[in-house]
Amino acid sequence: MERSPGQRGWYLSARWQRDEEADEDGESAPLLPPPPPAGSDTPSRGSSFGFSVFNLMNAIMGSGILGLSYAMANTGIMGFSILLLIVASLASYSVFLLLSMCTQTAVTSYEDLGLFAFGSTGKVLVATTIIIQNIGAMSSYLLIVKSELPGAVAGFLNGDESGFSNRSWYLDGRLLLLLTSVCIVFPLALLPKIGFLGYTSSLSFFFMVYFALVVMIKKWSIPCPLPLSSAIETLQVSNSTGDCKAKLFHLSKESVYAIPTMAFSFLCHTSVLPIYCELRSPSKRRMQYVTVTGIGLSCLIYFMSALFGYLTFYDKVDSELLQGYSRYLPHDTVMVTVKVAVLFAVLLTVPLIHFPARKAVLMVFFCHLPVSWICHILVTLTLNTIVVLFAMYVPDIKNVFGVVGSTTSTCLLFIYPGLFYLKLSREDFLSPQKLGACALVIFGICVGLLSLVLIIFNWVDQ
């Protein structure tokens, strides 16, 4: 029987109070009904621990891996390591807070958690943040298409992208972006249910791991100092003495992009609760083990790819790492396969990211209208148009990582989990968990605002 909003709120409050009385710390309180007993004809429901870790890592890893070497180049190896560890630890802690609230309230989505904490305003705020975050994520993926597809095409044609891109339409990045968006991304995004893309987009995780392995191997294929391509570069290198020396700590105006890029790279919180619901014998402690394992392994892959990318190009590393390999290994067969793999992953992942963005738009702006194909198509077309325009005219992927990472990513990663916990938890304010939630909110606000202000100042100063 369908409950009214008032009945549902009363039911969730009663469920929360009952769970608190039955299990104060919520460590073993199940969100879903227990699995069927042994010998039952009913099959066991839920994903295994290993498969849940894989799903979480697949939700974590994405285009952010291409910008971490640039972040290391502008913070130094030790500086990057410390910041990466801090962001990964806080991401894991914020998931712990979400799981605590999920166990206590029986809410299974980020938007509903906002509704439970702050009413309809909270739900709209979370949904709007998810829309902006997903638009930024899709734009970052299509920026990869714009920058890497011409090089992949040139590699297959055994030509040099820089040699005839001006007179060959099939090497124009913007035109290729538009064609792939119209012919591939938009039709896939139009599908009302794109569950099958969940399986194919899982390949993107393996492609990112493949990318990290190739970055580690190719470090030995590019000499240092880097090969020179012009007299200007020769003069620049002759006046520089630190091109092949790694820095442990480094601070520059570009360092401001480091934490936003990391926040962008670790954001998986909109997927945590659905993964929790699908976990076999779900409990907060079991899901926390999944979270720590998934974030820990992702952190290791991120660090290794960033380290070897930095040790390959040093201070000449690009904000999008693949561009460096396009410049110095334009016809390398392995790098061409990496580009194709990443592009394939991008084209199948963008429609998947589009799906929750469209759902949030319909929920916020068109919830009063009946479901219709016209509305479905118009929202899909509008979102895709916005994403393509961003990808076409944003000059650098670091701008997407910086702006989105310092705003929506910090909100979803740090601020909202802390705020929701402070609002919903009945613990004393001086309890360790509430103090930790308060610190998480303060960290998110300070880092987000400071990063955004410095990024804008950096734009104005250029």
Domains and CATH numbers, the chain: 51-231+242-461 (1.20.1740.10)
Q: What is the identity of the amino acid at 32?
A: L
Lowest mean pLDDT among 35-49, 61-75, 334-348: 35-49
Model confidence band, residue 45 (pLDDT cutoffs 50, 70, 90): low
What integer pLDDT is reported at residue 351 of this predicted model? 87
Given its phi and psi angles, is residue 77 left (phi above 0), alpha (psi -120 to 50 degrees) or beta?
alpha
What integer pLDDT is reported at residue 242 of this predicted model? 53
Task: Give 305-359 pLDDT, tens digit per residue.
Answer: 999 999 999 888 988 888 888 888 877 888 888 888 888 888 888 888 888 888 8
- What is the rounded distance in angstroms from the CA atom of residue 243 to the CA atom of residue 225? 7
What integer pLDDT is reported at residue 180 of this predicted model? 92
Segment 61-74 shows an average pLDDT of 90
Residue 315 tokens, joined: 């201070």
The answer to whether residues 404 and 137 touch, using CB atoms and an 8 Å cutoff, is: yes
State yes or no: pLDDT of 106 exceeds 60.
yes
Mean pLDDT of the chain: 81
Decide which of 28 and 269 is more confident.
269
Residue 145: burial class (beta carbons within 10 Å; 0-12, 13-18, 19+):
buried
Task: Give 258-317 pLDDT, tens digit per residue.
Answer: 999 999 999 888 888 888 888 887 788 888 899 999 999 999 999 999 999 999 998 889
Q: What is the residue-wise DSSP string for 340-385? A: HHHHHHHHHHHHHHHHHHHHHHHHHHSTTSPP-HHHHHHHHHHHHH
Kindly state the percentage of the chain with pLDDT values over 70: 82
Given its phi and psi angles, is residue 46 left (phi above 0), alpha (psi -120 to 50 degrees) or beta?
left
Task: Pick from 122-136, 168-182, 323-337 the range whose average pLDDT is largest.
Answer: 122-136
